[in-house]
């Protein structure tokens, strides 16, 4: 698989979703397409999916008494585990799973409505999702716990956690980071999508979180800062994270408007978090997709 073509496919599928549903988290997919593509093509060591290409209908949330399918099944049985924390990036995860052949493209249409598993705000039963984290900043704590368990049981492999920059505004994140470094967990790494925005607008205006690198280092983590839309930079940073003796955070500076021209205008007007297309935007997007 070629990471460049997977990144383009993620953007295209997310754009088609947004047109179909007249709404979606398109900017999240456009900003992080290279991160997902590099992880799946060049970094994650995953065994084949144990889940069907077209997901079954939703019956109930997974628990210990029932045998409902878990989102984790689409990621196989290791040795690595990929934990997506911000649940509104679910669309990006589903599109990535289609692009790498773990989900059928038809699932994006047939399973994204009522009663389907492809929730807009993804949950534990949604393809590729390990932890329900619609209440943001909850998946990192679970992931650190799993990394501790793996260390105690000598289970090989790395846990890779995807965080959004908005989640750095939450206290639970920093408690989890502290626990990971105090336990010397080198089997967990974080990729942060620093796209500079959250639901109410710009990070810098609402509650600045800089200097991010210094903060991670102060919490005992190795921190690497890169251009998060550069495939090679992501690949090299992940390799360094794998070989580090400390838990590593890769701080990815991303551009959530990359891929479709109307997004830049929305960024300038601070309206990029959730996109409900105007008629003009819809027409522009359709003709841009046709010209690809
Ligand atoms: C604990 C919690 N607080 C607040 C929210 C409301 N919320 C939903 S999305 C979001 C933005 C979070 O920032 P980020 O993930 O960086 O947003 P994006 O870059 O996608 O705009 C917020 C605050 C939430 N889901 N959970
Ligand atoms: Mg953000």
Domains annotated for the chain, with CATH where assigned, are 3-290 (3.40.50.970)
Q: Which atom of ligand 1 is nearest to the CA of 27?
A: 20
**What is the share, in percent, of the chain residues with pLDDT greater than 90?**
94
The DSSP output letter for 170 is S
What average pLDDT does the segment 274-292 reach?
96
Ligand nearest to the CA of 273: 1
Q: What is the DSSP string of 228-288?
A: TT-HHHHHHHHHHHHH-SS-EEEEEE--TTTTSTHHHHHHHTT--SSB---HHHHHHHHHH
Q: Positive or negative CA dihedral for 58, 63, 66, 69?
A: positive
Q: How many CB atoms lie within 10 A of CB 291?
A: 6
Of residues 213 and 65, more confidently modeled: 213
Two tokens at 78?
């290791």
Of residues 22 and 245, more confidently modeled: 245
Give residue 84's pLDDT: 98
Give residue 59's pLDDT: 87
Q: Positive or negative CA dihedral for 75, 102, 37, 168?
A: negative
Give residue 125's pLDDT: 95
Cα(166) to ligand 2 centroid in Å equals: 5
Give residue 205's pLDDT: 96
pLDDT at 217 over 90: yes
Residue whose structure tokens are 């992940």: 238
Ligand nearest to the CA of 135: 1
Q: How many CB atoms lie within 10 A of CB 67?
A: 9
HSE value, Cβ hemisphere, 13 Å, CA-based, for 66: 10
pLDDT at 67 over 80: no
Query: Which alpha helices (H) appear in 86-211, and where do they start and end?
Result: 90-99, 106-110, 139-152, 171-182, 203-206
Minimum CA distance residue for ligand 1 atom 9: 199
Which range is least confidently modeled, 61-75, 103-117, 236-250?
A: 61-75
| Of residues 248, 227, 253, 246, the one with CA closest to residue 238 | 248
What average pLDDT does the segment 76-98 reach?
98
Give residue 60's pLDDT: 85
Q: Which atom of ligand 1 is nearest to the CA of 25?
A: 20
pLDDT tens for 7-57 read: 999 999 999 999 999 899 999 999 999 999 999 999 999 999 999 999 999
Minimum CA distance residue for ligand 1 atom 22: 199
Two tokens at 273?
């978090």
Cα(244) to ligand 1 centroid in Å equals: 30
Q: Which atom of ligand 1 is nearest to the CA of 203?
A: 16
**Residues near ligand 1 with C-beta < 6 Å?**
28, 86, 88, 134-137, 164-166, 195, 197-199, 273
Give residue 274's pLDDT: 98
Global pTM reads 0.98
Q: Which residues partner with 201 through β-bridges?
A: 198
Q: How many CB atoms lie within 10 A of CB 265?
A: 13
Give residue 1's pLDDT: 85
Q: Which atom of ligand 1 is nearest to the CA of 89?
A: 20
Cα(203) to ligand 1 centroid in Å equals: 11
Round to whole Å and give the CA distance between 204 and 284: 30
Q: Is the omega angle on the peptide bond into residue 211 within 30 degrees of 0, that is, cis?
A: yes
Mutation probe of ligand 1 site: the residue of 14, 25, 26, 88 with most atoms within 8 A of C-beta? 88
- Round the average pLDDT of the chain to a whole number and report it: 96
pLDDT tens for 118-142 read: 999 999 999 999 999 999 999 999 9
Give residue 240's pLDDT: 98
The DSSP output letter for 42 is I
Q: How many CB atoms lie within 10 A of CB 214?
A: 10
**What is the share, in percent, of the chain residues with pLDDT greater than 70?**
100
Round to whole Å and give the CA distance between 191 and 62: 27
Two tokens at 29?
């997919």
């Amino acid at each position: 698989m070629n990471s460049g073509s997977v990144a383009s496919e993620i953007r295209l599928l997310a754009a088609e979703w947004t047109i179909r549903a007249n709404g979606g988290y398109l900017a999240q997919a456009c900003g992080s397409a290279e991160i997902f593509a590099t992880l799946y093509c060049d970094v994650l060591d995953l065994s084949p999916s144990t889940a069907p290409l077209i997901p079954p209908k939703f019956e109930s949330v997974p628990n210990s008494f029932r045998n409902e399918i878990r989102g984790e099944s689409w990621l196989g049985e290791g040795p690595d585990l990929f934990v997506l924390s911000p649940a509104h990036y679910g669309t990006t995860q589903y599109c990535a799973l289609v692009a790498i052949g773990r989900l059928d493209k038809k699932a994006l249409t047939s399973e994204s409505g009522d009663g389907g598993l492809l929730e807009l705000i993804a949950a534990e039963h949604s393809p590729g999702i390990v932890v329900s984290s619609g209440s943001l900043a909850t998946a990192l704590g679970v992931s650190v716990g799993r990394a501790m368990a793996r260390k105690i049981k000598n289970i090989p492999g790395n846990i890779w956690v995807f965080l959004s920059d908005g989640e750095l505004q939450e206290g639970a994140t920093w408690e989890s980071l502290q626990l990971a470094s105090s336990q010397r967990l080198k089997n967990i790494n974080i990729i942060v999508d620093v796209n500079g925005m959250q639901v109410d607008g710009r990070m810098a205006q609402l509650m600045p979180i800089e200097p991010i690198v210094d903060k991670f280092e102060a919490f005992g983590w190795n921190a690497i800062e890169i251009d998060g839309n550069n495939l090679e930079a992501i690949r090299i940073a992940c390799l360094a994270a794998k070989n580090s003796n400390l838990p590593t955070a890769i701080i990815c500076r991303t551009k959530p408007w990359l891929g479709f021209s109307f997004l830049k205008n929305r960024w300038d007007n601070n309206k990029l978090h959730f996109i409900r297309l105007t008629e003009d935007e819809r027409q522009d997007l359709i003709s841009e997709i046709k010209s690809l």
